[in-house]
């Protein structure tokens, strides 16, 4: 899980505190702009951003509200919703699409309107894998399309998902600015110094802002609390995975035992002890 608390120099980017400090504050707006521009690779050029209210209510009191991680717009009125997903959710794609409806609906002005919309981008930085089919395909970009023509039908609504565990490039393999951002974000907590390949001014600031020694006492406290929340989530996930693996092993062992497979063989392939197998 990275370096220990005694060794760590930089924050864990996947904690709420670190993500919002580095990408969600006015003083670090240039970091977010650099990341987004690297993500769009010239197709969208962001010169400036304005941070918007992250809490959104429905039209009625009883409507469910949405609280975004980072929400902003550029000088053209285009909306950018940037979310950090620390753990897999059953309907995380549904959730991101639901969240995108708020930036769409809020564009409707009072009075007459011709329904022209500004672009809306939903960007999910995911600390988990949701597409197991291709272990190397980590950068998903989704738009509404005509399935028969295989053409984009509506280009003003874009969903970008980055499966961070699939990013495996080493320091000597970083070519694009996006490569550098993904490497910095994924490995930040485990680094003890800024890599030589990340010497650009924007990364110099990124590492300065991420260095725990530069925090105020209040920031250090908030980061530690956020770090504990991150560890708790990981522990819950690991426990659930272990229980799932154990349950699967028991099911397999029962079938093998019923078929007369020797206990030593069952132990080899399931990891269960002979005592555990005896009790099945």
Give the DSSP per-residue string, 62-124. Answer: TSPPEE-SEEEEETT--EEEEEEE-S--TTHHHHHHHHHHHHHHTTPPSS--------EEEEE
Domain boundaries, the chain: 16-214, 248-278
> What is the tens place of the pLDDT at every residue in 188-237?
999 999 999 999 999 999 999 999 999 999 999 999 999 999 898 888 77
Q: How far apart are CA 147 and CA 149, in angstroms?
A: 6
At how many degrees (to 10) do helices 29-40 and 201-210 cross? 130
At how many degrees (to 10) do helices 16-23 and 29-40 cross? 90
Q: Assign 63 a pLDDT band (cuts: 50, 70, 90).
A: low
The structure's pTM equals 0.82
**In sequence order, which ranges of the chain are alpha helices (DSSP H)?**
16-23, 29-40, 92-105, 177-187, 201-210, 217-258, 263-270, 274-278
Residue 161, pLDDT score: 97
Q: What integer is the mean pLDDT of 65-73? A: 86
Q: Assign 245 a pLDDT band (cuts: 50, 70, 90).
A: confident
Q: What integer is the mean pLDDT of 160-172? A: 96
* Average pLDDT along the chain: 89
């Amino acid at each position: 899980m990275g370096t220990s608390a005694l060794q760590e120099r930089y924050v864990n980017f996947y904690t709420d505190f670190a993500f919002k400090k580095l990408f969600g504050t006015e003083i670090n707006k240039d970091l977010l702009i650099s990341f987004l521009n690297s993500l769009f690779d010239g197709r969208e050029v962001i010169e400036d951003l304005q941070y918007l209210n992250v809490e959104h209510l429905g039209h009625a009191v009883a409507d469910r509200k949405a609280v975004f991680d980072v929400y902003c717009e550029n000088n053209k009125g285009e909306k950018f919703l940037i979310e950090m997903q620390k753990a897999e959710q059953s309907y995380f794609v549904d959730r991101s699409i639901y969240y995108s409806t708020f930036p769409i609906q809020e564009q409707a002005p009072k009075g007459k309107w011709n329904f022209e919309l500004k672009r809306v981008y939903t960007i999910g930085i995911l600390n988990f894998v949701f597409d197991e089919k291709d272990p190397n395909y980590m950068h998903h970009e989704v738009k509404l399309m005509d399935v028969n023509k295989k053409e984009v039908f509506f280009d003003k609504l874009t969903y970008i998902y980055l499966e961070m565990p699939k990013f495996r490039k080493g320091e000597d393999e970083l070519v694009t600015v996006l490569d550098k951002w993904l490497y910095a974000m994924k490995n930040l907590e485990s680094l003890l110094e800024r890599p030589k390949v990340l010497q650009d001014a924007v990364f110099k600031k990124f590492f300065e802002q991420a260095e725990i020694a530069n925090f105020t006492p209040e920031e250090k406290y908030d980061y530690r609390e956020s770090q504990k929340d991150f560890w708790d989530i990981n522990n819950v996930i690991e426990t659930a995975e272990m229980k799932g693996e154990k349950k699967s092993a028991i099911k397999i062992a029962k079938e093998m035992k019923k078929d007369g497979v020797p206990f030593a063989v069952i132990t080899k392939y399931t990891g269960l002890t002979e005592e555990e197998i005896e009790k099945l």
